[in-house]
Structure 1
């Protein structure tokens, strides 16, 4: 059996490191966006003008996730996205369709993790 060349080994190591850095950057972006969205939704008075685009961005991010992302789930739960979005569901400035889509996708994502963990333990 042939040993992999040193150059190939180095490339794989670099690719793994780059993937790790990209994952950390995405997790940071997710935390920042979720925190900004919740702050905009919880602001007094009418929905902040930034809330709608932030909610649309979160919807896009949730729809782009092809597998479970524990860091995104942690950010959603830590910052209280569910309660903040639910509190503003009736606000016409926010748009119920987008808010509902975010709640459904986020709930499916977090419920899916519990099911997977339950299967592993059982």
Structure 2
């Protein structure tokens, strides 16, 4: 029986057999594939988020794959942008990250400098849109 020190953090040292360690890694990998977050997995298994990350790295899945957007989600985001909405609003509407939309439609929308200039003008002009 091979013994492996898995965690030596603030909570003390946890000693597990190699088989127990491999089983925990498999369990964390399965929960990750189900779409569970690092925090969710840590709560389910009663371990720290760092432990979950370590096991994900060991399993080769440190970054869970994002779920691709459906055609309907893309269409909803496109409509918001076409109607003059911001990328942030479109991302909220489609249920995705803002970066996903910027990668899909590069060069569209306002740059940070344009958004900053607009916000400055709105604040200093006293005009409310």
Structure of higher RCO (CA pairs closer than 8 Å, 6+ residues apart): 1
Larger helix proportion, structure 1 or 2? 1
Larger strand proportion, structure 1 or 2? 2
TM over 0.5: no
Max Rg structure: 2
Give the alignment's TM-score, normalised by structure 1: 0.30
